[in-house]
Structure 1
Amino acid sequence: MSEKETLVRFGISMPQSLIEQYDRLIAVQGYSNRSEAIRDLTRKALLTSSSMQLDETVAGTIVMVYDHDISDLPMTLMELQHEYHHAIISTMHIHLNHHQCLEIVVVRGKVQKLRELQQRIQVLRGVGYAELSVTHVDEHGSSHEHSHVHA
């Protein structure tokens, strides 16, 4: 929020038990007041891929947990990632235990395509979890080229 932006007050009605739970949660998270916690919840809600325009360019991650022992699942996931290679920036693969793998796929592209990729992963047999998390990308902001030196 910019310093020049006007704050607007409004009222919220909640059951007593819900507000007590909420107050405990925001205290644990370190908020000094309900207003800032509600602002953060609102910002988070506005960043869900379902609340964004389908043609909006975003960046984010697809986090998945799957059973690598399911027949052909690792190969199917790899082929799917190759199919969407223009949207995939990087991946990280972690072995959670003998059967489960956690994979983080860093993505950038149109909401519609990224959501499509996440949904195609989610419905595969053996995938226990697949979640897309995104943030806005300012396509009109400054774009500066930079190089990396690798040793």
Structure 2
Amino acid sequence: MERFTISLNDDLAAEFDQWIAARGYSNRSEAVRDLLRKEIETKRLSKDEAIYSIATLSYVYNHHERNLAERLTSLQHDAHDLVVSSMHVHLDHDDCMETLFLRGMTQRIRSLADKMSAETGVRHASLNLVPVKMAMSHHQHGHHDHAHSHFHPRT
């Protein structure tokens, strides 16, 4: 692990300590590490340097909207290799919230999110991307060779 020292004026240090306490960090180092990770991953995403990501896509919709639930389900089936799972919550008599857990190529995840968000009746859609490294793994199970992928956080 590499160590470095930074200097902060008293006001900035006090604000940073308040920020740390409000979020429950046990020390400044972990808070700085998280800030750096976030900044680096944001840069990767903004410059399209993140080839693979894990993600959540959350959205609210009115389940009475004509064929909307079927259209959303169809989009998920079309991207079955990206959709790991989904969670559906009934908010009231009309509205539902769904969260999709996704993994795969970042551009394909963004494309799916754009398509789903653009469906008439979908409101409050939010995509949260986390860039990852993908590695293929091969395992021997009896007489069968089994290959699958692992997604690891980058930083």
Q: TM-score, normalised by structure 2?
A: 0.69
More strand by share: 2
Gaps of 5+ in 2: 142-155
Assess if the C-alpha contact under 8 Å between 1:54 and 1:112 holds in 2: no
Indicate yes or no: 2:67 matched with 1:72: yes
Distance (Å, rounded) in 2 between the aligned partners of 1:99 and 1:41: 39
Tell me what 2:33 maps to. Answer: 39
Indicate yes or no: 2:96 matched with 1:90: no
SS at match of 1:139: strand
Distance (Å, rounded) in 1 between the aligned partners of 2:6 and 2:110: 34
Distance (Å, rounded) in 1 between the aligned partners of 2:48 and 2:140: 28
Tell me what 1:23 maps to. Answer: 17
Tell me what 2:5 maps to. Answer: 9
SS at match of 1:70: coil
Indicate yes or no: 2:114 matched with 1:119: yes
Report the CA distance shift for 1:73/1:22 in structure 2 as closer, same or farther (over 3 A).
farther
Sequence identity (%): 36
Alpha-carbon distance, 1:111 to partner: 0.3
Alpha-carbon distance, 1:115 to partner: 0.8
Distance (Å, rounded) in 2 between the aligned partners of 1:129 and 1:19: 36
Alpha-carbon distance, 1:118 to partner: 1.0
Report the CA distance shift for 1:101/1:21 in structure 2 as closer, same or farther (over 3 A).
farther
Tell me what 2:103 maps to. Answer: 108
Gaps of 5+ in 1: 147-151
Tell me what 2:151 maps to. Answer: none
In the TM superposition, structure 1's runs of 4+ consecutive aligned residues that sit over 6 Å from their partners are: none
Alpha-carbon distance, 1:57 to partner: 2.1
Distance (Å, rounded) in 2 between the aligned partners of 1:89 and 1:32: 33
Tell me what 2:51 maps to. Answer: 56
Q: TM-score, normalised by structure 1?
A: 0.71
Larger RCO of the pair (alpha carbons < 8 Å, separation 6+): 1
Once structures 1 and 2 are overlaid, which stretch shifts more, 41-50 or 118-127? 41-50
Distance (Å, rounded) in 2 between the aligned partners of 1:75 and 1:107: 19
Tell me what 1:149 maps to. Answer: none
Amino acid at match of 2:86: T
Distance (Å, rounded) in 2 between the aligned partners of 1:71 and 1:122: 16
Alpha-carbon distance, 1:144 to partner: 4.7
